[in-house]
Amino acid sequence: MSTRPRLHTLFQGTKVRHLLIEGADPGAKNLIQLENGVPTVIFTGKQYEVEQKAHSLMAEWSKTERFEYRKDGDPPAFEALRPTITLVTLMGYTRIHDPKQQKGMNLIGVVPLAQWRGWKDKNGDDYEYGFDGTTIFGQPKVTAAHGVNMEPKTNEEFVATLKKVGELRKSLGPTHTFILG
């Protein structure tokens, strides 16, 4: 039986919000909102009550703020390194396997999450990271500063933007899947 919190991820463009339901006792659960790496306990109660509150908040945010719910199997919502580290730490992970850290006696590249600095692209800019519940995905971050229309209006502009973002990512650095432990 897993003791990891139950995770719900919502996103609106580049804005990401997580809800975690945590606690080993079904009679005393916490609902934690995590936004920009800042955790806030927003409700405490029995498991059923906390789950109802989480679903109510997700419905409200979908309606009033146009957040979308990330379903299992969907691509992860990407955000900066620090909020990602906070999230996976709250999920109970303590280390990450990074092939760039395979040096000396560290043959498998294990790094404590608290010490991991993430990756930089060829320009020295930070990567962005997505968490799917078990794994972190890293990719170079593409922004409007790269000359990309980040708000396409037509289907043709959307397809052109996706193609340009894909080409830019490849030119800036590799994508990578990080295993957590």
Percent of the chain whose predicted confidence (pLDDT) is above 90: 77
Instruction: Write down the H helix ranges in 46-133.
Output: 47-64, 81-90
Based on the fold, state whether residues 65 and 88 are members of the same structural domain: no
Based on the fold, state whether residues 28 and 95 are members of the same structural domain: no
Based on the fold, state whether residues 51 and 121 are members of the same structural domain: no
Based on the fold, state whether residues 160 and 108 are members of the same structural domain: yes
For residue 152, the SS3 value is: coil
pLDDT confidence of residue 161: 85
Instruction: Write down the H helix ranges in 74-144.
Output: 81-90
- 111 — phi, psi (to 5°)? -135, 135
Q: Other C-beta atoms within 10 Å of 70: how many?
A: 21
Per-residue pLDDT band at 73 (split at 50, 70, 90): confident
Q: Is the pLDDT of residue 42 over 50?
A: yes
Based on the fold, state whether residues 124 and 104 are members of the same structural domain: yes
For residue 11, the SS3 value is: strand
Residue pair 179/93 in contact (Cβ under 8 Å)? The answer is no
- Write out the residue range of the structural domain in which residue 120 sits: 78-180
pTM: 0.90
Averaged over 117-137, what is the pLDDT?
A: 96
Based on the fold, state whether residues 104 and 164 are members of the same structural domain: yes
DSSP 113: G
The number of domains in the chain is 2
Based on the fold, state whether residues 26 and 101 are members of the same structural domain: no
Residue 52 in any domain: the answer is yes
Based on the fold, state whether residues 86 and 174 are members of the same structural domain: yes
- 11 — phi, psi (to 5°)? -145, 155
Based on the fold, state whether residues 122 and 45 are members of the same structural domain: no
Locus of tokens 């955790």: 39
Based on the fold, state whether residues 22 and 104 are members of the same structural domain: no
- Of 69, 92, 113, the last residue of a domain is 69
Residue 1 in any domain: the answer is no
- Of 69, 92, 123, the last residue of a domain is 69
